[in-house]
Amino acid sequence: MALLYAQQVEEMDVEEMQETHEAEIEILNEIDKLATYYGMDKTDEKLKALEEKIEEYLVHVKTHFANEERLMRKYDFPKYDMHKMAHDMFLMDLSITIKQWRKFGDIEKVTNFIRKSPEWIVLHINTVDAPTSAYIAHMMALEKEKK
């Protein structure tokens, strides 16, 4: 069983947003799997694989949020501040958890955080990203018409 399925989140009207969400879900599922493997066999090799995936996830989340924020600014999305704040709060929680892991080496803190995050992710995508992407897709279509 996967941690999260792409079908659980609403399909975005903006293709690049959809692709980012699918890629991120894949990374989350890989972390879940690697954490299970490490739990069964605590070798350095398994730990390294898990750590690398977590680093990849952090970069992916940052790029994901920054790209949505760029699109929102480009098309003057009216609820930009609210959406940006939701990103900032999630990123702050994630960064604190990762910092603690780097300082104290407790990888379980990070994997626990990640395993609990699908709830936030599904809610954010379905209630915040979905209306944002509908607006952006509409603005993109208008822009095309003008050309």
- Minimum separation from the CB atom of position 117 to Fe ion (A): 13
Which residue among 68, 77, 111, 114 contacts Fe ion (CB under 5 A)? Answer: 68
To Fe ion, the closest distance from the beta carbon of 37 in angstroms equals: 28
Does 129 contact Fe ion by CB under 5 A?
A: yes
The three state secondary structure string of 75-110 is CCCCCHHHHHHHHHHHHHHHHHHHHHHHHHCCHHHH
Q: Please state the closest distance from residue 96 (CB atom) to Fe ion, in A.
A: 19
Q: How many residues bind Fe ion (CB under 5 A)?
A: 2
Q: What is the chain written as a DSSP string?
A: --S--GGGSPPPSSHHHHHHHHHHHHHHHHHHHHHHHHHHS--HHHHHHHHHHHHHHHHHHHHHHHHHHHHHHHTT-TTHHHHHHHHHHHHHHHHHHHHHHHHH--HHHHHHHHHHTHHHHHHHIIIIIHHHHHHHHHHHHHHHHH-
Span of 1-9, 98-106, 108-116, 124-132 interacting with Fe ion by CB under 5 A: 124-132
- Which residue has the CB atom at the shortest distance from Fe ion? 129
- Least CB distance to Fe ion at residue 145 (A): 26
Q: Output 107 or 134, the one with its CB closest to Fe ion.
A: 134
Distance in Å, CB of 116 to Fe ion, minimum: 18
- Number of residues that make up the chain: 147
32 touching Fe ion, by CB under 5 A:
no
The span of 31-39, 46-54, 91-99, 128-136 binding Fe ion (CB under 5 A) equals: 128-136
Interface residues with Fe ion (CB under 5 A) are: 68, 129
